[in-house]
Structures are given as structure tokens and as C-alpha cells.
Structure 1
Amino acid sequence: MKQSILYIAFILFTVSITAQNAERIFKSAQIEGLYVKVEVNDGYYIINPYASNTVETTFVPNGEELITESHAVVAKPKSSTIDITERAKDVLIKARNGLYVVITKSPFQISYYYKDQLITSEKRGYYKSAHQPMDIVKGNIVADSTEKIEFNLTKDEVLYGGGARALGMNRRGHRLPLFNRAHYGYETESQLMNYTMPIVLSSNKYMIHFDNAPIGYLDLDSEGDNTLTYETVSGRKTYQVIVGDSWYDIMRNYTNLTGKQPMLPRWALGNFSSRFGYHSQEEVEMTIDKFREEEIPVDAIILDLYWFGKDIKGTMGNLEFLRDSFPNPKEMIKNLQSKNVETILITEPFVLTTSNRWDEAVEEDILAKDSIGNPAKYDFYFGNTGIIDIYNPKGEQWFKNIYKELANMGVNGFWGDLGEPEVHPNWVQHHAGTASEVHNIYGHDWAKLVYEASLEANPNKRPFILMRAGYSGSQRYGMVPWSGDVNRTWGGLQSQPEIALQMGMQGLAYMHSDLGGFAGANLDDELYVRWLQYGVFNPIFRPHAQEDVPSEPIFRSEKAKRLAKFAIQMRYRMLPYNYNLMYENHLYGKPLMRPLFFEEPNNTKLFSYSKTYLWGNDILVAPVLEAGKTQQEVYFPKTSNWFNIETDELIEGGQTKMVKTHPAYIPTYVRAGAFIPLTKVVQSTSEYEGNRLELHYYFDKNSPENERKVYNDNGSEINPLWSGNSNYELMKFESIYKGSNLKFEFEFEKSIEFDETLNSNDKTIDLIVHNIQREPKYIKVDGKKVEVKWNSETKTLTIPINWEATTKKEIKIKLKK
């Protein structure tokens, strides 16, 4: 083992000597508690193993103090034995089987290995040099010099990360500003958007997270010299290298480090009624009544800024219902709840000098300051404003109290808009530092504030927090981000799968878009319908737009309304499948939307592919992204055969196939051997019955053994998996095909005692088996023959099952040869 490590280190030394730091001189390496301290001539390193898959490295230059605070990381390094082996030319640092560190003494270099394979290495490592400004952030990122950390890249690796951008899946070749800023009306390309993150993922299956809050850049080999560079104006020189045997391992390991997304309320998977915006209580209630009249399911309505003012400008910061337009908000919220509809309110972190609360904000000392300690005031689109200093305990508590008051009125969701912050001059001073130091974490810490306020008001009710900006790890505050003010065009739609897939890879699994597009008065029913059809397989289903063109299906043409209704009904039919995806994300950090290279990690053709993706493990989705498309190419992963979800056509995996499109749905396929739990259409998730399911099984002789698990709980309780009662259930479904026998076994891995809110201890299941080409000889349920009709047209078999939660269930089908 030592010989192989020495050999690898020697090879690295001989082939990459030009990619090392000749000026940094190694002095010593020694264990200090849980970490290793490496002394060099210009400072020292702290190398801190978090787990077998995660190592943190911090450089502290001479004359600086170690900064230990992280805004992203919540995990703690685990106590374990660290071994240091010092040799003539290098030092081996090893804590566990898995990821380890090799330090080459001269020229100095830090390299990371996983299972004896080189993962990545520093090039120059840390250095400081003149700031090279970019026009796109001129005036936003201001510095004479920046601090940098430089890495080597192999010539062929594909790079992802940097937060939300529209640049194509492969972001290599770009220098990306790390400065949260909205891009109004973007389409197929956006270099800078509202949610940036200092994260890089490589097709070589590793992640580097630069653990530093202040603004800067992420240079993904823009010079074409195989160099990755992180740049910052100030702060920590800390990064974590994260590895895994699969992409799902990396997702789990990263979210173990930065926090898991809490379970959202089940209603968050339903349809939202939203626009910019509803002007009155009467309009809100009329809109929901129209949904119910048209029998189009809906679970929530979002009130944009007219809830606190008649005009767009001049009223931001009022943060209380305008009684002229909303005379009885408590009654309105109560009426909506009686119709199984939740109320969500927009809020912003700005208090205008013309708002009703400006004097209160100044008196309570809750605003950020200028250089001489007065409330910072500046102009932006909505008026002359100050910004709430959420880092000042006074500002934090003041803002929290407003959310708690609204929650006590019955508001069960909050929308945090303009949280980049939208306008944030460098000279503004916060309690925790300058605008440059807190700009990129403002939305992150605001989400934390709203999350805590929501739980303080309703300790056992899951928060819902819609935010436009955040930071690494914001998922742990239940943040639901969206992709900003996208143009209402086909170009706007085309960028959305990439943005959502990339953000899911960076821990923000609920990234979604304003379905139908936001910006511009473009009345295009085909675009609208195709966007909503794509939204069926998005984490959040939320049509939203400027009010020039209605975003709600109830106000569209009859044809658009009919097709939108079909899409929304499909969304509701998929509630049990989608809720299980929420569980998998919460427990394992798995994205809901997954790129196809997760499925085929060695298929280089898929590294830059986003036109088709996986919705969970078992559904393949190919959204229609161009006008007038009657057919389009779809790649079917070689790991399975795939069934057309509408026609049951079986397609062999491992091929690209031209498929026909249909106006009522986008091309969607189910993995052979999958169990897909569905439910009947309901008008609200409140009507969902977890004890009545359609369980669709897609039979394929080439997939003889399969197992799936389906999670369920009451849809609202905080931490059901971890509470003392463990108030959830986990069902396991297995299939085995051998000879001419197809056998199913149902078993509860975890069941709960009867709960009136869950109502799911006993199950009524229609097991629907697809691709049964001939009528079976017989069917037995728990050893007893049953008479079941086989549908000769659809080639399906429907078997009604009554299943007691405390028992196992066995179904045997004798097929004709």
C-alpha cells in the first residue's frame, strides 16, 4: 500500500511540477486535536477530516487570525485517529479509509486521493494578486486585489456549479461572478442571476465547496490553461473536498455537511394560484371560487405586494394588510382555509422612507447604517429605502415579530423577494460587516429568520419559505428557491431544466420556475401549456406572471384551460410518488430532478445533456421546449427499458429515438420494473387519502427482480422521522419474475398506529400490472385464487388488494407462456 502511494505521489511530482507552488516552503506537519496543522513559510494550513468522504482545508496567511465561523457548514468533524506518515518528498495525512491528503514538500503542493486515485490538487493554492474587474459586476465587486485559491484541472473534465446560471450544463470556460443579482427577462443565457454559490462539481465525481461568504468570482478555466480559481475580496481561505462512489453519494455527503432540507408541507406539492398581483380581498376570493367552479385543483394562493399597498412604488415596508383593499384579512384567510387553500404573502427586506413603518424602523434602530451611523438610505426602483439589518438583534427580532403576527393570523407561507439584496451599495454597513461581506448570505440568513419565526408561531407545522436568493446550505432552512424573472418566451423555457438540475446538484432540490414565464405580455397558449406540462415534473407547481397576461389556467382560453387542467390533474395523481421524492431528499439529499449522467456516470455524451432528465428514480421526462414540435429526440438510458407512460409502448434502453409529441402531455416514460404509486384526482391535497392507492407495476422480463419503498405521513408534522412518536409509515413493494411466475410481496417496514390525520393504517390498493400480453392462467392473493379481469386492449391487469398494516401481502400471477 505504501509503495503504491509513493508511486502515485512520484508520478504526480514528475508530470505536474509546473502546476505547483515553487515559492511556498514546507516546514512541518503535526496533529493538533482533531486536525493536522501544516506550517509553511507564508502561513499555515489546517487540514480537518470531516468523514471518509470529506476533508476541509484552511490556509491562514502570516499576520492573520484563523476564522472558524462558517455560514454553510453545520456538520462537526468526527473524532478519529489521524495518521501522518512523513517521507522524504511528501507527507501522507490519512484519517479514515477513503479520502486522504498528500503534501508534496518541494515544490509545495496539496493533493487529494480517493481509493488511491488522484481526485484533485492545488496548483498555486492560495495567493493574492490584482483584482481583474468584470464589466458585468462593475461597481458591485470593488477591490484593488483579491485573494485566490487555485487548483489543477484535467483537460477533459466537465464542470458544474456556481449556483443558478443559464450557460449550458458544462460551465467550464467561464469566469463567474459570485454576487447575487437578479436578471430581469433573461432567456437562453444568463451569466449572473439571483442565486450564486461558491461550489464546483466535476464530471470526475468530486465537489469543491469554497466555504466563504464574501463576494468574489469562480473562474472555471476561462483562460483554457486547465485551472480552477476561487477569488474573494476578503474572508476565509477555506474549502471542502467531497467525494463519493456515485453522484448520489456526493449529494448525500454534501448535504450531511451543510444540512438536509426539512420536509415541506404536503400542500407544497399542489397547484399555486399566483400573479403579480391580486389587488383586493374580493379578487382573491373570486379567483379561488373560480378554481373550485372549474374543478381545477389548487392548494395555495400567493399575494404579491398589493396586500400592503395600492401602488407598486412607495409602500414597500408597510408589511400589514391595506384595509381599503383587504378589509378583513383574518376572515379572508379563514375562508380560504375552509376551501383548503393556504395563504402565502410576499415580503421584502426594504423599508421605504415613504412607508408607514419608516419612523418606527428608525426609532427601533433596525436598519443598516451609513458610514457615520445613520440609517442607510438610497434610491431604487420602488423608492427611497433603507434595508433591515437582520444581523442586528434588534432588526432580527423586529422582523421576526412581523412574521409571527402574520402566522398567528393564519398565514402558512412566506415569500421573500428581492433578497439578493436587489440593491445593496458597498458603503452600507451591517451589524455583522460590510455589504460586500454579507451580500451573498443575506437571503440565506433571512430564510433562517423566517424559518425560526414560523416555528416559533407554529411549533409543529412545517414552514413554507419561497426565496429568490440564498447561499450554500440554505436548504436546511426549508428554502424553496425559484429561477427569477424569466422571460415569457420559448427561450425562457429552454433554460429552465438546466437551472433546476444544476441547483439540485448543489443541494437546492426545490429550484423551480415561474410556470408560463414571468416577464413580458406574451400571450402564447402553446408556450403556456408546454411550460405547465414541464411543471408537472418540477419540485413546485407555481404558475406566476405579470398580470398583463393571466398566469392562472382559469383565465386562459378554453383549449389552454383544458390542457392545463389535464396537467394539473396529473400533478395531483402523482402525489404519493412525489411525496416519496420529498422524503428521499430529506433523508439522503437526493435531488427531485436528476441529470441523466447520474444514471450513466461514464457516458461523456450525457455530461452536457439536459433536454431529458429523471424525475426521481423511475420517471424519464423530455419537456417540449420549442414551438410547433411534432416530434423530438429522446435519449433512453441503457440501465433499463422504458415504458411510454400514456401508451405503454416499451422502448429498449441505450438508444436515442425520435418520438412523437402530443398536445396534451410531454414525452414521459417509466422505468421497466418500477412501482409507481398514484392516487385519484383531488381538488386539494387536504382531500388526499394515503390509504387508497393505485400501484402501477411495469412488467418487463428483462427486469426480473425489483424493490421500491414508498413513504407516507400526515403531511404537516415537524420531523416525523425523528420525533419520539416516529409518526410515519414506510411500505416496501417487491416483485420477482421466474419462469412463468410473477410474484409480488408487500410489507410495512414501518407502520404507525391509527392516526386520524393520516388515516392510513389499512390500505386499499389497486395493483395495476402493465405489459401482460396474454390473460394469466390464474392469480392468487395470499394463497387464494381470485377472479380478475385482464384488459386485452391495454394489456393490463388490475388486482384489488385489501391490506392490513400489520401483515404481509403476497400476490402470485401464473402467466401463459
Structure 2
Amino acid sequence: MTIRLSSLLLPIYLLFSLSISAQNKEREFVSANLNNNILTLNVSDGKIIITPYSDVNLEIHFIEDSTATPFPSNAIIDEPYLDKITYLNDEHQIHFATTKISAVINKKPFKICYYRLGEFLFSEEQGYFSNDSISGFRFNLNKTEHLFGAGERALGMNRRGHRLQLYNRASYGYETHAELMYYSMPLVISSEKYMLGFDNGASGWLDLGKTEEDILQFETIGGRQSYFVVISDTWQGLVANFTELTGRQPMLPRWSLGNISSRMGYHSQEELESVIDKYIEDEIPLDGIVLDLYWFGPDVTGHMGNLEWHRDSFPEPELMLRRNKEKGVKTVLITEPFILKNSGKYAECAAQNLLGTKADGSPYIFDFFFGTTALLDIFKPEAQDWFWTIYKKHTFSGVDGWWGDLGEPEVHPDDLLHVNGRADEVHNLYGHEWAKVLHEGYRNDFPETRPVILMRSGFIGSQRYGLVPWSGDVNRSWGGLQSQIEISLQMGMQGHGYMHSDLGGFAGDYRDDELYTRWLQYGIFQPIFRTHAQEDVPPEPIFWPDSTKNIVREYINLRYQLMPYNYTIMHQNAILGLPMMRPLFYMDENPELLDETKTYLWGDDILVSPAVEKGVTSQKVYLPAHHIWYNYFTGEKHYGGQYVDVPVDIKTIPVFIKAGAFIPMVPKFMNAEEYSSKQLTLHYYHDDAVHNGHGYMYEDDGKTKDSHLKQQSETILFDCINRGYLTFKLTPLRYQYEGMPQEREIEIVVHNFHRKTKHIKIDDKEYKIGGSLRRLNKLDEGAAYKSKTGKLHIKTKLSNNILTIITE
């Protein structure tokens, strides 16, 4: 189900986009005023307010009519703070600068240019423009810039040369090309390491040099007329600076990193419980299960808006939720903002004026796939309170997470009125506001709980509300799989580090064991591991042949064993905004990598190149320069800065570990309730050319909100110094939290260790290195070396003190 802008509106967009420069008069500078580090420029057609929120960003807000009520900001949450501002105002120019970013305003002809540490970045071509039906901003581009962003698209990494609609809209059954999808954002990222965002949630367009080759043009039908600029000299710094301005993603509960089972959908309590039992029987770890439409109705159409258990199919939901928890499985329910006219909630919503309206104030009623419906006015405080009351009741009964579906909204008539404007004026803010309702509801009523909020639409900054996006109704095909890496990398660069896909593919009845296996192998190294599909082909591995199930089980076990590593890169996202999936150019600034969509970094230390083509037996993989890489499966060594051909079979995909990396792992377990890092295997990938190795592991109770900010966590620093002998130092930085091991049994596995080392020293105790792992396993402390594998195994314990291990 999709919605289009009015057919009358599209020609207007095209007409004005081609004639903007000719119709706008030249802007004239009138005066300038600096107050509390905020610069106001009075110009002939309004005023421009330039606000630095820190030393790496500026917001530029154009106000044409100072008597009108200004549109609020939705993207920015930061408060201005600065140590130093430079302001110079002479006859020809104004220089306004922080220590890192500066705006130079030419007075005649009027123009604003932006610089990073004195280096020119870009300039306004005309800046703000306005015509009868459209307004926006125009900028100059240099000829070599790559442009990323604009939200969720399947276009290739470089979006330059496209004219992209800004209108969140469903893209059912897409594959390798989709210009408009569920989550569009008026946000551009330049290969020159700056970001340009437009704090405007109305319908519009981003023209990235399509109409005019070197012009970037933002167009909108209304709303707030402002943009912000964020700069850095590194890619990691750029996403960190952007998420400092727009908000960081709170840490999710640990169980969200486990296996989550979903389909459209589980029809009954009996069916759902039998699926969980089948996972347990097949010894496949499981942490979550998601209920689609049937929890509130017996079939697909006619029941949306009931938002209560359909007791015929789910006769004892509270008991079911409790039994799920006893098995270590959390339950997530779907909800939608559409209240069907024959649903159980319509009468009270209409009576309380909670719905979008027509011009006369009556509920706006329309037809779409699921029935005759109204739409909840999510912007109205009374509607927010009403919606949260329903979420709160079910959360108290045992629901662990929420899925907000169709929240573009999927059907949103142009003339439907919300409390804050027409549909087109606020369309792209709907999912953003919906996520905020859940986030603030949890903060007020469940302040210690980390919510899981799955939603497929939002706005710039929605990550701060804990929104976990997925890539929508992708086709179950090789083409559908091939677009997923690009989508997740792009969204991660735009602040959404948990973008993921319906594993196995959602739409269609194509059944292929190889495709299913490859998609789930990729899923091990995507932020959320959640299988989901229509019912034609089962999304759960328990319903596939043993040959497929056995491979998938091993990969799911690997994901669980990697939980300490995965949880740590979740922590990096929370404190720095770094996505879990990262483009290769985050590590190697080879210009050729700007277009790479097949290989990526999983955290800092693991490189993954999923198999996304049918029948592939080898894969060409680029390994970032200035590092040495080891094949995870074979141990084979490769130097970075080159492409390597990697043989693959159905049981393997190319996975590499960076030399000098520490990879913490735990024994296999079945769900997050069983998780413990008391027994920890710390893999260190040694190479003689690497003189210093570093890493860390973050741990807390896995469930309490903001543990990392409340001194309810621990961090263990890992260091290895190579000076002809290896010195390992493990440094625990510990607070207290529920379930924290007071002492850990640690086995350090040093890979690629080919030295004639006879002894090791653990703190002040010396041990002779043996050759039997069986013997080592019986000891509390000691070492063994296996020459066939080239691995040194060191067994010891770690408590509160720094642990030092030296190979002699």
C-alpha cells in the first residue's frame, strides 16, 4: 500500500525547480547583531539566525515573516555551548567562527561560505529561496564530491546525480533499486567530511546535482526553513559530532542482540508456544518472538485498531507471556496508528477528538488495504496520552517490546489535518513523534527499563528515542539481499546504527535453501538478528531441512559466542554514535572505497563480505590498507591495501580479523537470561609487525537503562605490547551491577604465535608452556602451545586487579 503526492503538486515542483534563480530577487545585507554568541543577519527579505551549538556545527535559520509562529526544531537537541567565538565585521565581510568551523558572509553580493579550520568546504549558491508553492535552499557543489544520505534508498552509495523525493513511503517487494522508501531524510553527507541537514519534516525533494550538475537544492512545501552544518576531519568524528547534535541511540537490552523470531504471523497462542518449544528442541538459541496482526484479530483485514488480545486465539495471554519469559524468550507486539471505523477503539478516539480531521473538524475517514479507517493524530498531546495508556497496560502485563508498523504513515491523504498542520506539512515527522511517545512513556513509567522500539519510519535524530529501523518489505530474492548492506551502511552514517533487514526476505514465495542460508549468515553481522516473512515460506530455521538448519544453527551460535564483542560495539554506538556496521572508508580513505557495498567492518576489528550471489564459489574482497588481516575460518594471513580472492562454500563467507585485535567470546548459551562472561575466551590476533594491540570489553546487567551513565557497569581494557616478547595487560575498571562476576576464568588464545617460547609469567608466577590442552583445561592457571595451529593458550583468572602476562 502506497501513497503519492497530489498529481497537481508534482508539476509545480518540477516547474519551480527549473526557474528558482530567475524568479528570486538578489538578497541584500542590511545589518548584523551578535548576542550571546548567536549572530542575527537582517537582510532585505527577512532575517538569518546563525547559532553554533558546539565548535563543530552551525545552525542557519531563515525567518521570512518575524510575526509568524516559528516552526519548532525536530532534529536538534543540543544546547549551545562554546568556549570561544571569533566575530569580525568590516565593510565587505563578516567572519563568524568557532575554533573549528566558520561562516564568512559576503555582504554584496550576499553569500555565505563555510570553512573547516580555514579550509573552504562549500557555499550557498542563492541560499534561501521562496516562490508561491515551494521554498528551500540552494548550494554550490565541487565537481568531485560524493554525496551520501537522503535516508533509506537503494541507489548505490553515491547519491549525487539523483533528484530524491522526501516523503516516507512503503516500497513493497523492492530489490536492487528503490529511489523512495520507508525512511527518507533531508540529510546529505559529503565525501569532504561535512553533513548538511534540513530541519524540516514536510514533503519535499533533495536535488543532488540532477537538474543542475553542481547545485544541491532542497525544496519543501512549507515548514521550518533552517539547515545545519556539521564538520569533522575524520569519518568517525563526523558521525560522533552529528549524533552529539541530534542525539545518541540509547543502549538496547542485551536480549535484542540475540535471535528474534517473527513472521506474518503467529495465529494463536498454541502456535506461538509450539514455535518456541521447537527452537528449544532443536537447540537453536532464541531470545525474542514477535506477534504480527493476529494478536488482535483472526485475519489480516478488518481488525486494526482493536489493540487488545483476540481471546479466541490467545485465551491466556498473560500466562503465555509469563511462560515465554520462563523459557528466556521476550515478546514483542505489533501496533499501527490506523483505527478502523469498526474497531473496538474507534468510538472513544472519535469522542475524544484523537483522530486526524477534515476541515470541518470531523474525523477524516478513508479506505486502504486493511479497511475503512481513521488515523491517530500522533501530534496531539491527548492522542499521545491515550496511545501510551494502551502500551503501558500491555507492558505491565508482560510485553517486552513494541513494533510500530505502517508509520510513514503508509496512507496519509494530503488534505488530512493534524493539530500542527496538513498531512504533507508533517508527514515525515509522524514516525519520529510516535517513537517519542514510546520513549517518553517508558522514561516516565518504566524508568529503569530499556525499551525495544521497532519502527520503519522516522526523521533526523529519531535514534535518540531508541527507534530501531528495519528495511521494510524487501523481496525474498538475491536482488533483495544484495541491497541490504548499502541500506544499513548509509543509515548507520546518518545516526541509525541498528538498521537491519527481515532475514530471509519478506515478500514473495521464492524458496531457496542457499539464499536463506546466505541471508542468515549475513544476519550474524547485522545489528539485529530477526527473521521475518510472509507465510508462503517459513522464516524460522526450525522449519528448514537439517542440511540448512545445521549450518544456520552454527552461525547463530557464533553470534551468541560473540555477545561480549557485539555488546561492546553497541556501547560504542551509545557513547560515540559509531554504527555497528561501518563502511571500509572509515578505516581506509582510498577513494575507490566510497562506492563499496559488498564488504564492511563489523565494529573496529572484524571485516565481513557476505555472499550475496547464487552459486558463488569465490569472492573478491578488499582488505583495508595499513593493517594485516587473518581469515577467521582458515587463519590465512593477508596484507591490507589489496583485493584478495577468497574461496567460499555454503558453510563459509569471507570473515577477517584485524591483526592486533582482541575478540572476546563466551561459551554457547541459549538466551540472554543464561548469559555470563564469567568464562571468557579472549582471542588475540598476533602478528610480528604489530607492536601494539588494543581493545576493550563493556559489560553491565544488560537491562537497566543508562547503566553506562550511572556507574553500574564495568570496562576491561586489553593491551598487548610486542617487544620481541609479548606483554599482555588486562585492566578492569569496575563499578557494581547485578550479576557481575567477581572473578573471571579467562583463556587467552594467541593466534599466529610461532615463537620458541618456553615460559610465561602471570603476574609474579612463572609457568612452563606445555603442549596439552587437555592438561591445561584441568589447571586453574598455566599455558599450552599447539604448533599445528600456531596458537598459544594461556589460562588464568581476572578479578579486580590489573593482570599482566609476559611471554618469555
Q: Shorter-chain TM-score: what band? A: over 0.9
CA distance in 1, matches of 2:604, 2:659: 11
| Equivalent position amino acid for 2:572 in 1 | E
Structure 1 counterpart SS, 2:727: strand
Does structure 2 retain, via aligned residues, the 8 Å contact 1:427–1:434?
yes
TM-score (norm 1): 0.93
CA distance in 1, matches of 2:65, 2:321: 59
CA distance in 2, matches of 1:327, 1:163: 42
Does structure 2 retain, via aligned residues, the 8 Å contact 1:34–1:80?
no
CA distance in 2, matches of 1:760, 1:253: 35
CA distance in 1, matches of 2:367, 2:750: 63
Does structure 1 retain, via aligned residues, the 8 Å contact 2:439–2:451?
yes
CA distance in 2, matches of 1:665, 1:461: 38
* Number of the residue aligned with 2:80: 77
CA distance in 1, matches of 2:254, 2:271: 26
Q: Is 1:694 paired with 2:681?
A: yes
| Equivalent position amino acid for 1:113 in 2 | Y
Structure 1 residue 498: deviation in Å?
A: 0.3
Structure 1 counterpart SS, 2:472: coil
Deviation by residue 1:624-653 (Cα, 9 ceiling, x = unmatched):
110000001000000211011111111111
* Number of the residue aligned with 1:811: 805
Does structure 1 retain, via aligned residues, the 8 Å contact 2:469–2:498?
yes
Aligned pairs for 1:380-529 within 5 A: 380-529=368-517
CA distance in 2, matches of 1:125, 1:336: 56
Aligned pairs for 1:530-609 within 5 A: 530-601=518-589, 603-609=590-596
CA distance in 2, matches of 1:256, 1:81: 19
Structure 2 counterpart SS, 1:395: helix
CA distance in 1, matches of 2:384, 2:760: 64
Does structure 1 retain, via aligned residues, the 8 Å contact 2:700–2:740?
no
Structure 2 counterpart SS, 1:75: coil
Structure 1 counterpart SS, 2:448: coil
* Number of the residue aligned with 1:195: 183
* Number of the residue aligned with 2:794: 799
Aligned pairs for 1:312-351 within 5 A: 312-351=300-339
| Equivalent position amino acid for 1:632 in 2 | Q
Structure 1 residue 544: deviation in Å?
A: 0.5
* Number of the residue aligned with 2:778: none
Does structure 1 retain, via aligned residues, the 8 Å contact 2:499–2:527?
yes
Bigger mean CA offset, 681-690 vs 580-589: 681-690
Structure 1 residue 662: deviation in Å?
A: 2.5
* Number of the residue aligned with 1:790: 785
| Equivalent position amino acid for 2:664 in 1 | P
Does structure 1 retain, via aligned residues, the 8 Å contact 2:84–2:99?
no
The match for 2:127 among 125, 128, 141 is 125
| Cα 1:377/1:66, change in 2 over 3 Å | closer
Does structure 2 retain, via aligned residues, the 8 Å contact 1:173–1:220?
yes
* Number of the residue aligned with 2:114: 112
Does structure 2 retain, via aligned residues, the 8 Å contact 1:60–1:66?
no
TM-score (norm 2): 0.94
Does structure 2 retain, via aligned residues, the 8 Å contact 1:475–1:507?
yes
Q: Is 1:745 paired with 2:729?
A: yes
Structure 1 counterpart SS, 2:415: coil
Does structure 1 retain, via aligned residues, the 8 Å contact 2:506–2:534?
yes
CA distance in 2, matches of 1:713, 1:348: 33
Structure 1 counterpart SS, 2:439: helix
Deviation by residue 1:504-526 (Cα, 9 ceiling, x = unmatched):
00001100000010000011110
Structure 1 residue 251: deviation in Å?
A: 0.7
Does structure 2 retain, via aligned residues, the 8 Å contact 1:317–1:350?
yes
Deviation by residue 1:51-109 (Cα, 9 ceiling, x = unmatched):
11001111122566472621111101115553321234321112x21101101122211
Does structure 2 retain, via aligned residues, the 8 Å contact 1:126–1:150?
yes
Identity between Structure 1 and Structure 2 (%)? 47
Q: Is 1:264 paired with 2:252?
A: yes
Does structure 2 retain, via aligned residues, the 8 Å contact 1:92–1:101?
yes
| Equivalent position amino acid for 1:36 in 2 | L
* Number of the residue aligned with 2:667: 680
* Number of the residue aligned with 2:717: 732
CA distance in 1, matches of 2:300, 2:350: 23
CA distance in 2, matches of 1:798, 1:789: 5
Q: Is 1:613 paired with 2:600?
A: yes
CA distance in 1, matches of 2:171, 2:662: 41
Deviation by residue 1:4-30 (Cα, 9 ceiling, x = unmatched):
xxxxxxxxxxxxxx99x9811122222
Does structure 1 retain, via aligned residues, the 8 Å contact 2:262–2:290?
yes
Q: Is 1:217 paired with 2:205?
A: yes
* Number of the residue aligned with 2:139: 151
* Number of the residue aligned with 1:135: none
| Equivalent position amino acid for 1:127 in 2 | F
CA distance in 2, matches of 1:420, 1:761: 47
| Cα 1:800/1:247, change in 2 over 3 Å | same
Deviation by residue 1:384-419 (Cα, 9 ceiling, x = unmatched):
000111222221111000000100110010000000
Q: Is 1:635 paired with 2:622?
A: yes
Structure 2 counterpart SS, 1:561: helix
Structure 1 counterpart SS, 2:32: strand
The unaligned stretches of length 5 or more in structure 1 are 1-17, 130-143
Does structure 1 retain, via aligned residues, the 8 Å contact 2:71–2:223?
no
Does structure 2 retain, via aligned residues, the 8 Å contact 1:774–1:792?
no
* Number of the residue aligned with 1:3: none
| Equivalent position amino acid for 2:234 in 1 | S
Structure 1 residue 454: deviation in Å?
A: 3.1
| Equivalent position amino acid for 1:116 in 2 | G
Structure 1 residue 224: deviation in Å?
A: 4.6
Structure 2 counterpart SS, 1:681: coil
| Cα 1:743/1:82, change in 2 over 3 Å | closer
* Number of the residue aligned with 1:59: 62
CA distance in 2, matches of 1:39, 1:360: 50
Does structure 2 retain, via aligned residues, the 8 Å contact 1:407–1:457?
no
The match for 2:31 among 28, 31, 46 is 28
CA distance in 1, matches of 2:633, 2:693: 22
CA distance in 1, matches of 2:287, 2:151: 29
Aligned pairs for 1:235-250 within 5 A: 235-250=223-238
Q: Is 1:375 paired with 2:363?
A: yes
Structure 1 counterpart SS, 2:324: helix
Does structure 2 retain, via aligned residues, the 8 Å contact 1:774–1:795?
no
Structure 1 residue 691: deviation in Å?
A: 2.3
| Equivalent position amino acid for 1:579 in 2 | Y
| Cα 1:205/1:22, change in 2 over 3 Å | farther
| Cα 1:727/1:404, change in 2 over 3 Å | same
CA distance in 1, matches of 2:432, 2:677: 34
The match for 2:149 among 147, 150, 161 is 161
Does structure 1 retain, via aligned residues, the 8 Å contact 2:55–2:82?
no
Structure 2 counterpart SS, 1:118: strand
CA distance in 1, matches of 2:784, 2:404: 53
Does structure 2 retain, via aligned residues, the 8 Å contact 1:455–1:463?
no
Does structure 2 retain, via aligned residues, the 8 Å contact 1:342–1:412?
yes
Structure 2 counterpart SS, 1:110: strand
* CA root-mean-square deviation: 1.6
| Equivalent position amino acid for 1:124 in 2 | Q
The match for 2:47 among 40, 44, 59 is 44
Aligned pairs for 1:227-238 within 5 A: 227-238=215-226
The unaligned stretches of length 5 or more in structure 2 are 1-20, 770-782
CA distance in 2, matches of 1:509, 1:553: 26
Structure 1 counterpart SS, 2:649: coil
